[in-house]
Structure 1
Amino acid sequence: MQDLEYIELETAPGPTATVIWLHGLGASGHDFEPVVPELGLPEDAAVRFIFPHAPNMPVTINGGMTMPAWYDIKAMDIDRIVDTDQLMSSAGSVGKLVDREIERGVPAEKIIIAGFSQGGAVAYELGLSYPKRLAGVLALSTYFATAKTIQVSEANAEIPISIYHGSFDPVVPESLGVRSVETLKAMGFSPTYQTFPMEHSVCLEEVLDIGRFIRKHVL
């Protein structure tokens, strides 16, 4: 569990809420930084956005090439064989950022964990297992990699979860998004699920809905 480097952006002084947003494989915290002005948040909303950079590590499916990754992916079959220990370690590292936000005065229940693709798998693990009540989880074009091993905390047993997926996603098939919804419902959660006619990316309609999620749960 290591300390992560990150980008920090505040929409106004004295933030009262935080969104920690995790990028996908091979990307960086800069990936979603431009999205903030497109969320349609109120002008007076004071939200701190934290975009961590994943550590560099060899990734098996990319020929062992070293790149930013939250965990190793060993096979790209439908079940995604991943290094669960590395995923959980990354969740712990992001959890340290949550701890820090609480120390800075932002209540846990005003902190949202968001993640795209690999980052979304980490967001599931952290958001559902964190010991204090969080505001919500945003899962973008991702999959629930630790569904069989996660230890759901009592505090987050009813955490709001919004899931988004591209119906033409060639990287993370939409079937994995649907499976996440079914699994979460079987575990007692009530996730919302939306698809968009896109590939492995985000679109403006999705971004605007994320903005509505933020307004509803932390503003």
Structure 2
Amino acid sequence: MTHTLNTIIEPDRDQLANTSIIVLHGSGGQGDDFRPLIPLLQLPATQGAMRFLLPDAARRPTDDSGIERSGWYDRPDDSGQRDDIGLAIATAWVQVLIESEIERDVDSRRIFLVGFQQGAEIACRAALTFGSRLGGVVAMSTDLSQLATDDVTEANRDLPLLIQHGFRDDVIAEHRARSGADRLKQQGLTVEYLPYDMPHGFCTTQIHDVRRWLGTRLKAAPLPVWRCF
């Protein structure tokens, strides 16, 4: 069982990417699920040429029947025990993706993680424990009440986190998401929490808010200066 990167969307018009967005799907999903949202997230070229990485989580058994579905880590068992090994493996794997973008000369402050459900927790873990300053994280429809903050790096201690959730979410109750956001604020993290009148999923207003949020963050992140030799 391995996570894979099967979908990369490069900037239009043969531009050289200077901004990277890593998008992590939820349990049972796949990276390509987010492809229809990419045009809605594109910013003016003056704010950066964006590369989108849409990885796929490994497939794993979900119950005793042996039926497999995608997941960044196993669901808690009947005793409530969390899959700490799976969480650690997925976190490290995403951090390798981040490092690969830095090696491609993308400034770490112009690298953002977006995650849905399970993917949101992995996005937060990977970003908050990364050694270099990143741009920020968008966490959608997730419960971060058990997100560990003991090993947050100094570089990302005040990393911007945008947490979004639906009032009508019947998979993860909205009060759980709000409670998780409040807990992170109390621990000193920089959190913006936005609720929406929607179920477990996406809405247009939410995506527009992500675009606005990204634009604000990118204005504060320097664009590279390409020199000809």
* Structure-2 residue corresponding to 1:34: 36
* Structure-2 residue corresponding to 1:185: 185
Contact kept? 2:165, 2:177, Cα under 8 Å: yes
Alpha-carbon distance in 1 for matches of 2:146, 2:190: 18
CA shift, 1:156, in A, is 0.3
Bigger Rg over Cα: 2
Q: Is 1:199 aligned with 2:199?
A: yes
Unaligned residue ranges in structure 2 (runs of 5+)? 220-229
Contact kept? 1:15, 1:106, Cα under 8 Å: yes
Q: Is 1:86 aligned with 2:86?
A: yes
Contact kept? 1:25, 1:118, Cα under 8 Å: yes
* Structure-2 residue corresponding to 1:176: 176
Residue 107 to residue 40, structure 1, CA distance change in 2 (3 Å) = closer
Contact kept? 1:84, 1:146, Cα under 8 Å: no
Q: Is 1:106 aligned with 2:106?
A: yes
Alpha-carbon distance in 1 for matches of 2:127, 2:68: 27
Contact kept? 1:112, 1:136, Cα under 8 Å: yes
* Structure-2 residue corresponding to 1:131: 131
* Structure-2 residue corresponding to 1:46: 49
Local SS of the residue matching 1:191: strand
**Paired AA for residue 15 in structure 1:** A
* Structure-2 residue corresponding to 1:119: 119
State the Cα RMSD in Å. Answer: 2.2
**Paired AA for residue 135 in structure 1:** G
* Structure-2 residue corresponding to 1:144: 144
* Structure-2 residue corresponding to 1:59: 62
Cα deviation, 1:137-163, whole Å, max 9, x if unaligned, reads: 100001226424651111100000101
**Paired AA for residue 26 in structure 1:** G
**Paired AA for residue 52 in structure 1:** P
CA shift, 1:24, in A, is 0.5
Alpha-carbon distance in 2 for matches of 1:124, 1:63: 31
Runs of 4+ in 1 over 3 A off after TM superposition: none
Aligned residues: 216
* Structure-1 residue corresponding to 2:223: none
Tell me the TM-score normalized by structure 1.
0.91
User: Which residue, out of 50, 69, 73, partners 2:75?
Assistant: 73
Contact kept? 1:4, 1:94, Cα under 8 Å: no
Contact kept? 2:9, 2:53, Cα under 8 Å: yes
Alpha-carbon distance in 1 for matches of 2:105, 2:145: 32
CA shift, 1:11, in A, is 2.8
Alpha-carbon distance in 1 for matches of 2:66, 2:204: 34
Alpha-carbon distance in 2 for matches of 1:100, 1:39: 22
User: Which residue, out of 15, 18, 35, partners 1:16?
Assistant: 18
**Paired AA for residue 90 in structure 1:** A
Residue 64 to residue 154, structure 1, CA distance change in 2 (3 Å) = farther
* Structure-1 residue corresponding to 2:164: 164
Greater shift after overlay, 147-156 or 98-107? Answer: 147-156
**Paired AA for residue 124 in structure 2:** Y
Alpha-carbon distance in 2 for matches of 1:32, 1:90: 19
* Structure-1 residue corresponding to 2:224: none
Cα deviation, 1:6-57, whole Å, max 9, x if unaligned, reads: 3111233101110101001111001111101112521554100101000111
Contact kept? 2:41, 2:211, Cα under 8 Å: yes
Greater shift after overlay, 183-192 or 159-168? Answer: 183-192
Greater shift after overlay, 17-26 or 81-90? Answer: 81-90
Tell me the TM-score normalized by structure 2.
0.87
Residue 149 to residue 205, structure 1, CA distance change in 2 (3 Å) = closer
